[in-house]
Amino acid sequence: MGARRVVIGVDSSTQAAKAVAVDVDTGAVLGTGRAPHHVTTGAARESDPEQWWQALSTALAATTWAHRADAVSIAGQQHGLVTLDAAGAPVRPAVLWNDVRAAPQAAALVAEFGAAAWAARAGSVPTAAFTAAKWRRLTEHEPEAARRVAAVRLPHDYLTERLTGEARTDRGDASGTGWWTPAGYDTALLEHLGLPVEFLPTVVAPGTAVPARPGTPLRPGTPVAPGTGDNMAAALGLGLTPGVPVVSLGTSGTAYAVTRGRPADPTGTVAGFADALAGWLPLACTLNCTRAVDRIADLLGRDRDAVEPAGDTVVLPYLDGERTPNLPHAAGLIHGLRHDTTGGQLLQAAYDGAAHALLTALDDVLRAGGEPIDRDVPLLLIGGGARGNAWRDTVHRLSGRPVRIPVADELVALGAAAQAAGLLTGEAADAVARRWGTAEGPLLEPLPRDDAALQRIADTLHNAGNLFDAAPGRP
């Protein structure tokens, strides 16, 4: 038997850098590492990219495999705007995906080109999350900083470049900027935005590797894969085949599927991302998921699983504004409160409200990519929330589908590890993950879908539309 081959995959997320060292042949996790990130609170959601590098170095070292790994790949949070000067230093803190201050700029961009044109060109109608809107806001609100910018990166690009010295990205993460098309960067849009295409990293093909340079936590010469966005890496980590729906419950919530057809949704509900291989990853994202429900549990002084049937109460937990539906200035709302409403009912209503947008978007996700809607296909439930009983029960009751809960942890990092493993074996990254069995886990048989609860939430959302539209914006 030959020497053991080990790869490291990294998830540089909003909250932390997480690394896993994985045996290429068996998929066994041999070491892990984690280091936190600091994110500002309030209207701004920003992080210093230098601390990402320090957290990455700490997490890699904690696996104990950094200096002997055979290949490495980094996945990172999507959409973040990293601006660098001519020396490669950050001009200012990175603006993160969940910073909604660019909502006016996103609306202006949609008005300038039209939603249908955006969907046709970029695959998505931009919201405040998209990098293009964040860049527009920077040029309008911080022109002096914008003039010092010599390079623009996404979070995973920044870290990969620190490891290798080369400015590279992949089609998956690039598709979340608003300025990438299947034919490459949209040079006309970039000119409109005042962003030279030379400021952007090269989009490289899957399976392309460059060596780690000296002075990094890795052994010099270690092959480094292109990396990708966190959602694309999770799809790799599950070894997704087309048409299998996924709901991920984390700080944000996402509903997505790998599809064979290129999505282009002019309503903006579904973002038409590329995956990290040759397919597509239509996706709906909510800003308010586990963190919002945990906050409501804290306000109620209850354990997060201390729920009771919600009755007629509706909670829309839009504590940070919302992306799906696109209500960046919305606040949380409670409707139907009675004298006999209990804390447990309120908490369950918060779970229902957080899950509603994700589950009702699933059909749109599949439809956008041209995949059949087969409710007999199990929904894969992942993310930190999938470990909680209340979250599982809520998704099970509201989805009307069989629900499978993969037992593998850190699927984003595992997807990056599968990408790194493919550099050594010649396999596609999703095939590596299927060989590792990462999507295996218990299956919950379907329940009748709770259409009454879904309709109650939809009616409340519709009736609250004017209230949300009138909500004051944040700077």
Look up residue 273 and give its DSSP letter. E
Q: What is the mean pLDDT of residues 392-410?
A: 96
Residue 475 has pLDDT above 50, yes or no: no
CA 382 to chain centre: 12
Of 73, 59, 96, 89, the closest CA to residue 24 belongs to: 73
Helix or strand holding residue 248 (H, E): strand 246-249
Q: What is the pTM of this model?
A: 0.92
Q: How far is CA 424 from CA 66, 161, 238, 432, in A?
A: 17, 21, 19, 11
Helix or strand holding residue 262 (H, E): none
Q: Is 9 helix (H, G, I), strand (E, B) or coil?
A: strand
Residue 430 has which token pair? 């999703």
Residue 433 has pLDDT above 50, yes or no: yes
Residue 102 has pLDDT above 90, yes or no: yes
What is the model's pLDDT at position 305? 96
6-12 and 71-76 strand pairing: parallel
DSSP 363-432: HHHHHHTT----TTSPEEEESGGGGSHHHHHHHHHHH-S-EE----S-HHHHHHHHHHHHHHH---HHHH
- pLDDT digit string, tens, across residues 273-309: 999 999 999 999 998 999 999 999 999 999 999 999 9
Binning pLDDT at 50, 70 and 90, where does residue 466 land? low
Binning pLDDT at 50, 70 and 90, where does residue 469 land? low
Q: By the 8 A CB rule, do 78 and 37 touch?
A: no
Exposure string of 373-409, with b = 16+ CB inside 10 Å and e = fewer, is: eeeebbbbbbbebbebebbbbbbbbbbbbbbbbbebe
Q: What is the mean pLDDT of residues 106-134?
A: 96
Is-catalytic flag, 340?
no
CA distance 181 to 175: 7
Residue of 170, 230, 320, 364 marked catalytic? 230
Q: By the 8 A CB rule, do 283 and 253 touch?
A: no
Q: By the 8 A CB rule, do 88 and 241 touch?
A: no
What is the model's pLDDT at position 389? 96
Give the type of residue at 419.
Answer: Q
